[in-house]
């Protein structure tokens, strides 16, 4: 295992779009890490050894300290278990697993094997989220709403796994909103949901969800995966101190129309900074609240069949 003064030797598993767009640039700039290997059925990373499976990577590069798992959530449990039993720290791309019970078991396994497990809710690390949390903690909230609408064709082109059972559908982006609101609002519980399933898909393309908080406040969530034009990633709250709008997926905060916080996005560098912190500290960071809300929406939700979806 890496000491506190040496770079964490990390391997990355599942070399797809999110790895190339976010993980590789973040790792390249972080002196806490040395990217030592990659494993993927299709993609490769230049300049390091590449393997077809995580098992082959761990066999060939036993000196790895950690792995970052970026394959679809349906396949993440087995890979995480393999890594944990090999005494490797594990970074889980969001969502951390296909089910709550899988991730609960990984928490137990990580503790048993003395390694760190990290559920990396990247939107929670957006630059204005902490400012929004502080603002809401300083006032009385009357109600809140989540409006999360984007174009699946733009962000997930030809990715069939997201439409399969366990692929989350519109809750793949929607869980980003849930990762923020579970951090900035009081505890919430779903009271009703309507999920729109295309007749040719096994996951929803839109959802309307209502919550109540632990102190009885109403919260609504409107998810849509067929939004064209400008994309909407907004969390709104009506409070005694004014109307709050946290927009841009958590990057900008405005109160009564006045911008009070606006910084460039740096979510993945912050995620890897946090992962290094918990690895050095011998701790884990696994919050299951966002995933639990998705599970509850599927359990309580009314299924509404809509027209077939085609890429």
Q: Could you give the residue numbers annotated as active site?
A: 94
Token couple for 300: 């309580």
Contact 299, 195 (CB under 8 A): no
Task: Name the phi and psi angles at 68, rounded to 5.
Answer: -115, 120
The one-character DSSP state at 226 is: B
Map residue 63 onto helix, strand or coil: coil
Q: Over 85-137, what HEC string results? A: HCCCEEEECCCCCCCHHHHHHHHHHHHHHCCCEEECCHHHHCCCHHHHHHHHH
Instruction: Please state, in angstroms and rounded to a whole number, the distance separating the CA atoms of residues 50 and 33.
Output: 18
Q: Over 251-287, what HEC string results? A: CEEEECCEEEEECCCCHHHHHHHHHHHHHHHCCCECC
């Amino acid at each position: 295992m890496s000491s506190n003064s040496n770079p964490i030797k990390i391997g990355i598993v599942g070399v797809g779009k999110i790895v190339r767009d976010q993980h590789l640039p973040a790792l390249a700039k972080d002196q806490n890490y040395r990217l030592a290997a990659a494993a993927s059925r299709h993609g490769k990373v230049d300049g390091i050894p590449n393997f077809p499976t995580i098992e082959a990577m761990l066999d060939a590069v036993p000196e790895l300290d950690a792995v970052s798992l970026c394959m679809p959530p349906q396949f993440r449990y087995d890979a995480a278990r393999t890594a944990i039993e090999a005494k490797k720290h594990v970074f889980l791309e969001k969502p951390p697993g296909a089910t709550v019970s899988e991730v609960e078991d990984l928490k137990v396994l990580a503790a048993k094997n003395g390694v760190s497990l990290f559920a990396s809710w990247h939107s929670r690390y957006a630059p204005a989220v902490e400012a929004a949390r502080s603002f809401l903690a300083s006032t009385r909230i009357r109600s809140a709403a989540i409006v999360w609408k984007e174009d699946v064709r733009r962000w997930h082109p030809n990715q069939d796994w997201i439409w399969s059972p366990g692929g989350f559908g519109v809750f793949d982006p929607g869980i980003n909103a849930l990762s923020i609101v579970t951090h900035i609002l009081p505890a919430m519980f779903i009271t009703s949901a309507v999920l729109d399933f295309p007749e040719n898909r096994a996951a929803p393309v839109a959802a309307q969800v209502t919550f109540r908080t632990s102190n009885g406040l109403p919260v609504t969530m409107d998810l849509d995966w067929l939004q064209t034009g400008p994309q909407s990633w907004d969390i709104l709250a009506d409070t005694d101190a004014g109307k709050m709008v946290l927009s841009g997926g958590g990057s900008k905060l405005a109160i009564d129309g006045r911008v009070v916080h606006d910084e460039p996005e740096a979510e993945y560098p912050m995620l890897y900074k946090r992962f290094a912190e918990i690895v050095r500290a011998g701790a884990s960071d696994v919050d299951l609240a966002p995933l639990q809300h998705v599970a509850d929406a599927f359990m309580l939700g009314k299924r509404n069949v809509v027209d077939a979806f085609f890429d």
